[in-house]
Amino acid sequence: MSTALLLDLPKQHRAGNRVGIVSICSAHPLVIESALIAGRDNQHAVLIEATCNQVNQDGGYTGMTPLDFRTFVEAIAAKVGFDTAKLIPGGDHLGPNPRKHLPAAEAMEKSWVMITAFVAAGFTKLHLDTSMGCQGEPVALPDAITAERAAFLAQAAEGALPAGGEKPVYIIGTEVPIPGGALEALDHLQVTTPAAALDTIEVHRKAFVARGLDDAFARVVGVVVQPGVEFGNEDVIVYEPTKARALSAVLGQCSNSSSKPIRPITNLKLRFRARWPMDSTSSRSARR
């Protein structure tokens, strides 16, 4: 279950190759089976992710812990003949979202337990999402607090790595709605500004370095931005590439080096995210 492919994507991008990987974020067995069949037939890696709401140490709404989910996916892989060496298990929106009704300290302690469970179960792509306020806090938190909490969870993940285990790669930032898509009506979106994207990277770099996580920050392979595409319960905002050109140019101005100033990208790739609506007959287990 190598993450070498994810670490290589930024280098490929710098070389002028338009490459990427699809993230399958579903707990529905038919969705997972279809993704693995496609991976088998096309001989490519498959990234399958579980959100903190779907899967966590208490079972989430699927009733599965991280180890349960990995076992579930691997059983489907065996059924269809997919080589699990090409399976990349990921955790999405890992943070206090399922427990944001609790005081921040308690919610973050439970998030620590959750992310260590993901790492112990062999998940190697981790999205650190700590942007939401907990009990008594604003709905959206300042970048400095978000970054400090993300670094706190990265420290937990690094400490939970099994002996000889593969080091995880990280995604930071969260300019997208909560798991499941936007709940409010949508008629337009504000594309992330280049300055905001660079600020997100820098504030996380400082938070990681403050905890001695230089090596972990070197494995940050993406930052979540809003390129201008999203969906809600009743609306879809269609992507307009021209509006995101300045944001895309940020790729040449940033770095995930913990000891050097912002410079041309070496190991970091902006992660443009979009979600697509489920139809009204979709089962609950297919939700994010």
Q: What's the confidence (pLDDT) of residue 153?
A: 98
Contact 1, 84 (CB under 8 A): yes
Contact 154, 216 (CB under 8 A): yes
Q: What's the confidence (pLDDT) of residue 38?
A: 97
The CATH number of the domain where 93 resides is what?
A: 3.20.20.70
Which tokens hold the place of 192? 């992330």
220 burial type by CB count under 10 A (0-12 exposed, 13-18 middle, 19+ buried): buried
Q: What's the confidence (pLDDT) of residue 186?
A: 54
CA dist 91 and 25 (Å) reads 9
Helix axes 143-160, 104-120, angle to 10 degrees: 40
Contact 94, 60 (CB under 8 A): no
Token pair 């600020």: residue: 199
Domain range spanning residue 249?
A: 4-286
Give the strand pairing for 269-272 and 46-51. Answer: unpaired
CA distances from 68 to 26, 74, 75, 204, 272 (A): 14, 10, 11, 31, 29
Q: What's the confidence (pLDDT) of residue 275?
A: 38
Q: What's the confidence (pLDDT) of residue 226?
A: 87
Residuewise pLDDT in 10s, the chain (288 residues): 568 889 888 778 778 888 888 999 999 999 999 999 999 999 999 999 999 999 999 999 999 999 999 999 999 999 999 999 999 999 999 999 999 999 999 999 999 999 999 999 999 999 999 999 999 999 889 899 999 999 999 999 999 998 888 999 999 987 654 444 444 555 667 888 999 889 999 999 999 999 999 999 999 988 888 888 877 677 788 888 999 999 988 877 766 655 443 333 334 444 444 433 333 333 333 444
| Helix or strand (DSSP H, E) at 87 | strand 87-94
- DSSP string over 39-73: HHHHT--EEEEEETTTB-TT-TTTTB-HHHHHHHH
Cβ of 264: how many Cβ atoms within 10 Å? 10
Cβ of 270: how many Cβ atoms within 10 Å? 23
Number of structural domains in the chain? 1
Q: Where are the beta strands (DSSP E) in 228-274?
A: 230-231, 236-237, 269-272
